[in-house]
């Protein structure tokens, strides 16, 4: 459990960050009014620290570069009007440093406070050297915008080692690591080493499917798609865990557990889970459309019916 109970509330880049969904019209074009309404609803939720658009939850891989910028503009404009204290983060995914630098500069100009920087995806197949991994972060940080490092699962060739992350946090533009390592045997050790090396850099969990264990083992907050789906429930759970209120955290986990199994189906966050999340929120009347962008195909009628039946049995506080 975190030893510095309650101190997280005064630290920048701690607490709950919601990864946002992205609404589309039937022709797969961006639904800008729908995005504005959804973001305005999230921004009104007390306790959120920031919104993260253009992440995996927001279907970044299906968005054209100009659309990523437009999403950031809509989110930033909506947040500035509704809740100016909220941070706006935009995801950046590119295969090379120069392209990523362009995307980072565009996100800054569109109103983002920081970028969520994903590793180049060709690393997943070919791997990379440590100097390349660390250098990529430094290259993109030169855009002059704060960087959240997106740590991929340890079983991938794109995941960063502890030594690589220790080098990354030396860059003053790195403000957070979204820790998606999914290696619980190393979680606490890595958290402690990183906090010793760079206390101001937040280490947050993105493990929607086992959120509570990572929070209790060591974290400064959570950056999760679940907070873009059921923000009040996620904020209550994360805050209880960070404050050391184990009884309340366990009580809330009883509500989160069935919902997590419904959305994640005992797996990690991925396209299928994000699609179920979007459809579920639409079924609850809290999202404009269940439309996902190709190549993802619509859920079957049977899958939608299962979601509808399961949600009817739950009493959710979104």
295 domain-assigned: no
Residue 28 CA to residue 17 CA, distance in Å, equals: 26
| Burial class of residue 84, CB neighbours in 10 A (0-12, 13-18, 19+) | exposed
> Which tens digits make up the pLDDT trace of 62-88?
999 999 999 999 999 999 999 999 999
285 domain-assigned: no
Range of the domain at 80: 7-265
281 domain-assigned: no
Domains: count for the chain: 1
CATH of the domain at 117: 3.20.20.70
pLDDT at 317 over 80: no
pTM to 2 decimal places: 0.96
Res 266: pLDDT: 81
102 domain-assigned: yes
273 domain-assigned: no
pLDDT at 169 over 90: yes
313 domain-assigned: no
pLDDT at 1 over 60: no
Q: How many Cα atoms within 13 Å fall on the side-chain side of residue 111? A: 21
Q: Which of 95-104, 153-162, 170-179, 207-216 has the lowest mean pLDDT?
A: 207-216
247 domain-assigned: yes
**Residue 136 near residue 119, CB atoms below 8 Å:** yes
284 domain-assigned: no
């Amino acid at each position: 459990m975190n030893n510095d109970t309650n101190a997280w509330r005064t630290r920048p880049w701690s607490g709950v960050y919601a990864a946002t969904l992205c609404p589309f019209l039937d022709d797969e074009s961006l639904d800008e009014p729908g995005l504005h309404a959804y973001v305005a609803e999230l921004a009104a939720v007390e306790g959120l620290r920031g919104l993260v658009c253009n992440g995996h939850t927001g279907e970044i891989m299906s968005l054209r570069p100009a659309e990523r910028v437009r999403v950031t503009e809509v989110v930033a404009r909506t947040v500035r009007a509704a809740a100016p204290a909220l941070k706006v983060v935009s995801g950046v995914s590119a295969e090379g440093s120069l392209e990523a630098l362009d995307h980072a500069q565009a996100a800054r100009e569109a109103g983002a406070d920081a970028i969520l920087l994903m590793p180049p995806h060709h690393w997943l197949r070919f791997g990379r050297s440590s100097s390349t991994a660390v250098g990529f972060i430094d290259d993109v940080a030169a855009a002059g915008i704060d960087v959240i490092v997106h740590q991929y699962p340890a079983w991938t060739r794109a995941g960063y080692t502890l030594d690589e992350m220790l080098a990354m946090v030396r860059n003053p533009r790195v403000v957070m690591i979204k820790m998606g390592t999914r290696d619980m045997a190393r979680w606490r050790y890595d958290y402690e080493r990183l906090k010793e090396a760079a206390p101001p850099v937040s280490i947050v969990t993105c493990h929607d499917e086992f959120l509570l264990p990572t929070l209790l083992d060591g974290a400064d907050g959570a950056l999760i798609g679940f907070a873009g789906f059921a923000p009040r429930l996620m904020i209550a759970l994360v805050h209880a865990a960070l404050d050391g209120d184990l009884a309340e955290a366990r009580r809330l986990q009883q509500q989160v557990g069935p919902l997590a199994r419904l959305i994640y189906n005992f797996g990690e966050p991925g396209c299928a889970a994000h699609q179920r999340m979007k459809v579920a929120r639409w079924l609850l009347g809290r999202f404009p459309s269940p439309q996902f962008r190709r190549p993802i195909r619509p859920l079957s009628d049977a899958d939608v019916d299962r979601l509808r039946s399961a949600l009817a049995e739950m009493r959710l506080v979104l």
